[in-house]
Structure 1
Amino acid sequence: MTDCQLYLISPLDVSGEFPQRLERALDAGPRLVTAFQFRVKGIDQHDAVRLAEPLQAICAARDVAFIVNDDISLAKRLRADGVHLGQGDGDPKDAREQLGRETQIGVTCHASKHLAMEAGEAGADYVAFGAFFDSTTKASDYRPDPDILDWWSTLFEIPCVAIGGITPENCRPLVEAGADFLAVSGAVWNGDEVSAIEAFAEQIRPA
C-alpha cells in the first residue's frame, strides 16, 4: 500500500497567528506532512513575499517542501521548493526553464487522464486530480472517481495528489486507490489544526 502523505494548502489569510498554527500543524505530523502550498490571492508580490518568508522558514526548518500556488515569478523570487500550476497558469516547460531542474512542478489535471499524461510529458513532478468532494476552499466542476488514482499509480512513476474537500472521514478510499498525497486545507484550518492532523494520521497510517 502506498505511503500516503499530507500536502497542506494555506488558507487565503496567512497573516496574524497563522505562522504559529502552521508550526503546530507540522509538528503534529512529522514525516506525515511533507509539503505546504502558499496560496494567497489579490495581493502584490511585495506583500506576498513578506507573508511567505516566515512560513517558508518554518517549512525549511522541518524539511517540508514550500510550494507556491500559480505564480512562477513569485516562486523564483522566493527560491521556493516548487510551484503548482493550474491549467491556465503557465506551461511546465516554461516553469522548468525559469526555476531550474531541482524545483518541484505540479499541475492541476482535474478529472482528465489526457491532461495528466500531457503534464507528465511536459516534465511535471506530480499531477493533481480533483475535486473529489465538495470544497469550501475552491469551487470545482470536476468530480473524478477514485479509480483515476489507481489507474495513474499503476501506469506511471510520477506521484499523484488528490485534492478537493478531503477530510479524515472521507479520505480512506483515496488512500486505498493509490494517492501519494492528500491535499488538504479547510479540514485542517477551519478547526483545531493539531486534532485534524492527528485524525488524518489515524486514517492514513493503517491504510
Structure 2
Amino acid sequence: MSDPACQLYLITPPVIDDLDAFAAQLESALDAGPVAALQIRLKPASDQQITAAVRRLAPIAQGRGVAVILNDRPDLASALGCDGVHVGQSDASVASARRIMGKTAMIGATCHDSRHLAMEAAEAGADYVAFGAFFPTDTKQTEHRPDPEILTIWQEVMEVPSVAIGGVTVDNAAPLISAGADFLAVSAGVWAHPQGPAAAVRRFAELMSATD
C-alpha cells in the first residue's frame, strides 16, 4: 500500500510542564499511526529547556523513523542532532538556516497566506513551505487566514511540498487534504483530543487514507 498523499506533521504543545509524562503521550501517539515529522516548538523557553526537550523527545521520534524539526533555532537544531529546523518570517532566513544545518537538513518556512513568500522560500532552498493559520488556534497568535485554494494552486505549479497549519483538527482537516496539502501540521488537535492523542492520530490516518 502506498503512502497517503497527505501526511501528519505533529507539533508539540508550546509549554510542556512534565517532560516524562509528555514523552509517554508522544510514544502512544507515534505508535497509533503514521507520523512524518515532529516539530519541537516551545514558547517561551530557555536554551536549557529546549535542549532538555530535544534530548528527551528526539530519540522517541527518530527511533520510530519520525523526523525531528526544531522551531526557530538552527543553531540548537544542528548542535542537538535534529533532522531539520522550521523558521518563521521574523526568524533566521532559509539560506542562513541551510548554512548552519548543512545540505541534508530539512528546512521549512512559514509563509502565512502568501504564495510570493512561499516562492521566495522555495527558491532559497526550503524543503517545505507552511501556509496558515487556516482555522482559529490558541497555540499562537495569528493574523493570516488563507483559503484552502492556496494549497491547490501551490500543488499545481510547485514541486516543493506544502504544510497546512493552524487550528487543524480531525473535524476540519478533510477540506485541507482534498485541497492538496502534503502535510497537516497539528498540535492541540492531537494533544487535546477528547479521546486522547492516540485516538486523534488514528483518526487522521483514516482521513488521509480515505482521500488518497
SS of residue in 1 equivalent to 2:202: helix
Q: Per-residue displacement from partner, 1:109-134 (whole Å, max 9, x unpaired)?
A: 00001000000011100000000001
Which segment is superposed worse, 130-139 or 178-187? 130-139
| Matches of 1:157 and 1:43, distance apart in 2 | 34
Partner of 2:126: 124
State whether residues 14 and 44 of structure 2, in contact with CA within 8 Å, keep that contact through their aligned partners in structure 1. no
Partner of 2:32: 28
| Matches of 2:53 and 2:4, distance apart in 1 | 34
Q: CA deviation at 1:72?
A: 1.3
Q: CA deviation at 1:204?
A: 1.4
Q: CA deviation at 1:5?
A: 0.4
| Matches of 2:140 and 2:22, distance apart in 1 | 20
TM-score, with structure 1 as normaliser: 0.96
| Matches of 2:200 and 2:87, distance apart in 1 | 26
Partner of 1:182: 184
Of residues 198, 207, 210, the one that matches 1:206 is: 210
Partner of 1:163: 165
Q: Unaligned stretches of 5+ in structure 1?
A: none
State whether residues 2 and 180 of structure 1, in contact with CA within 8 Å, keep that contact through their aligned partners in structure 2. no
Q: CA deviation at 1:44?
A: 2.1
| Matches of 2:75 and 2:43, distance apart in 1 | 14
Q: CA deviation at 1:77?
A: 1.2
Q: CA deviation at 1:139?
A: 2.0
Of residues 17, 21, 27, the one that matches 1:17 is: 21
| Matches of 1:62 and 1:2, distance apart in 2 | 18
Report whether the alignment pairs 1:71 with 2:73.
yes
Of residues 7, 14, 21, the one that matches 2:9 is: 7
State whether residues 149 and 178 of structure 1, in contact with CA within 8 Å, keep that contact through their aligned partners in structure 2. yes
Q: CA deviation at 1:2?
A: 6.2
Partner of 1:53: 55
Where do 4+ consecutive residues of structure 1 move more than 4 Å? none
| Matches of 2:37 and 2:51, distance apart in 1 | 18
